[in-house]
Amino acid sequence: SRESGFRNKAKMVVAGHIDAPALGILDTDGHGVDLTDCRLYPPAISACFPALAGFISTARIAPYDVPARRGELKYLLLTLAEHSGELMLRFVLRSQEPLARIRKHLPALRAALPGLRVVSANLQPEHKAVLEGEREIPLSHDEALTMRLNGMPIHLRPRSFFQTNTAIAAALYRQARDWVAEIDPPALWDLYCGVGGFALHCADGRREVTGIELSPEAIASACRSRDELGLPNLAFHAADATAHAQAAATLPPLVVVNPPRRGIGPALCRRLRESEVRHVVYSSCNAASLAHDIAELADFDLRQARLFDMFPHTGHYEVACLLERRETVGP
């Protein structure tokens, strides 16, 4: 990975005062630490911060004061589509109180940031360390930002998950695609598929590919990408990955899993172990849960693994593993 300018998103705590907002993080006393000059952000993101700070002052949106428990604006979440320069901006608010002023001054912000395509407000009324709430209010006509990886459109809605490092995410998808192409299964599942990155890369129009994701919003984005690419034999369903696998009479010969940090867990491991699955492609952001799950998948051998430096300067990384069912030797 590049060691600077690699992040495609900025999650900025908003602190300070209306006329002098600080965008960055909070110190141990709950006061703002400005990170607008952080070199992890590419110039296309860094250049937005002065306009965003000015917008907070113009629209009179009080930054949320954590120690005092007052104010409205908690976070600014900014995502960049690197291939186009287009942006998605989310205001994380304590309440709807600033919405009218945000709408009023939004045309001026768009004039200052011509790449701004998707804007929304997320309501997070609780006083706790949770980044966002359940309710998202669209503030723009467009409701999805299009990222492009390996020539494929990936559509991100405001609450969709996407990797922080576009170049390394593209390499991760290429690796999975190459493993699948080498094995060439007639069918596969992509469990925890999100907006469909692995499924879209592994679909060739010939094999049957199914993506499973709990978020209906993410599934809608995945279906849009599929339809734009004209990929037949590719289906997406909103469902719990473990429940879907347990309810199915049979499983395909290859399964891709890309779970959250907790891993896939013992129930799904057991279902995979007892199924007809021959290969598992496992993408993990937590080596500890990955190791635990591999130990649970006792009938599979680890054939290949590759580390992806998704988060330079940290101890965090993404790992992709190819697991193959162990051949049993008869008496």
User: Contact, 198 vs 181, CB < 8 A?
Assistant: no
Identify which of 225, 258, 236 has the alpha carbon closest to the alpha carbon of residue 151.
225
The token pair at 89 is: 């901006």
| Phi and psi angles of residue 149, each rounded to the nearest 5 degrees, phi first | -125, 125
Which helix or strand (DSSP H or E) is residue 16 part of? strand 9-17
**All residues at 6 or more sequence positions from 153 whose CB lies less than 8 Å from its CB, including other chains:** 146, 147, 225, 228, 229
285 as an active site residue: the answer is: yes
Rounded to whole angstroms, the Cα distance separating 246 from 269 reads 11
- DSSP lists the bridge partners of residue 136 as 122
Rounded CA-CA distance 140/116 in Å is 10
CB 217 within 8 A of CB 247: no
| Cα–Cα distance, 255 to 275 (Å, whole number) | 11
Measured distance CA(60)–CA(108) in Å, rounded: 14
Indicate which residue of 48, 202, 269, 285 is catalytic. 285
Positions marked active-site: 285
